[in-house]
Amino acid sequence: MPNAQLNIWINQEYKDQLERWKREDNKPGMNVIVEELIEAEIARRSGKIVEQQSLPVIREIVRSEVREATAQLRRELRLDRELEQTELRDYLRKSFDRLAGLSVQAIRNSGISFRLAYSAVGKLIGVDSARNIYKDAKEAVERQLFPSRKAQQPPEEQEA
C-alpha cells in the first residue's frame, strides 16, 4: 500500500510523548510510532466489534454447557439416590427378616413354656384347676393388651 501524508495538529505534550517513544524504541521517525498506534487502535476497535458480534454465540455456548453439566449432575444424583435406596431397602429387609425370625423363635419358645407350665400345674393341682388358672390368665392378658375392647362391645355382651 502506498504511503499517504497526514498533517494534523495535536497537543504539544502528545507530540513530546511521541518523541520520547521514538527515542526509547529507536524508531527512524514519528510516523512509525503513529502507524503502530493507529494499527493498535484498529485492532482494538475491530476486536470490540468481533466481541460484540460473538458475545451472543459465546453466551449460548456457555448456557448449553451449563445445561449439559446440570443434566449430568442430575443423572449422577439420581443414580446415587437409587443406590442409597437399594442399600436402605436391603438393610430394612434384613432387619425385618431378623425381627420375624426372632418373633417366630419367641412364639415357639412361649408355646413350649406354656405346655411345660400347663403340664406341671396340671400335675400339681389338677387339670380342672389348671384350666381355670389358664382361662383367668388369658382374660387378664387380653384386658391388658386390648383395654378398649370392652368399651367397643355392645352393652348386652358386657353384662354377660
Residue with cell 458475545: 55
Q: Where are the beta strands (DSSP E) in 43-135?
A: none
What is the distance between the alpha carbons of residues 160 and 152, in angstroms, rounded to a whole number?
14
- The count of structural domains within the chain is 1
Distances (CA, A) of 71 to 84, 85, 100: 20, 21, 43
Rg (CA), the chain: 49
pLDDT digits (tens, 9 = 90+) for 35-68: 888 888 888 777 766 666 777 888 899 999 999 9
Evaluate whether residue 54 is within a structural domain. Answer: yes
Question: What pLDDT was estimated at residue 151?
Answer: 55
- Give the residue carrying C-alpha cell 466481541: 51
135 in a structural domain: no
- Segment 82-118, tens digit of pLDDT: 999 999 999 999 999 999 999 999 999 999 998 898 8
- In this prediction, residues 4-22 reach a mean pLDDT of 87
pLDDT value for 70: 97
**Can you say whether the dihedral through the CA atoms of 149, 151, 152, 158 is positive or negative?**
positive
d(CA 51, CA 68): 24
- Does residue 2 lie in a domain region? no
40 within domain boundaries = yes
Residue 68, domain member (yes or no): yes
Q: Is 74 a domain residue? A: yes
Q: Output the pLDDT for position 160.
A: 47
CA 60 to chain CA centroid, Å, is 27
Residue 64 inside a domain? The answer is yes
| Phi then psi dihedrals of residue 28, to 5 deg | -70, -25
Domain carrying residue 63: 12-103
- Residue 78 domain-assigned? yes
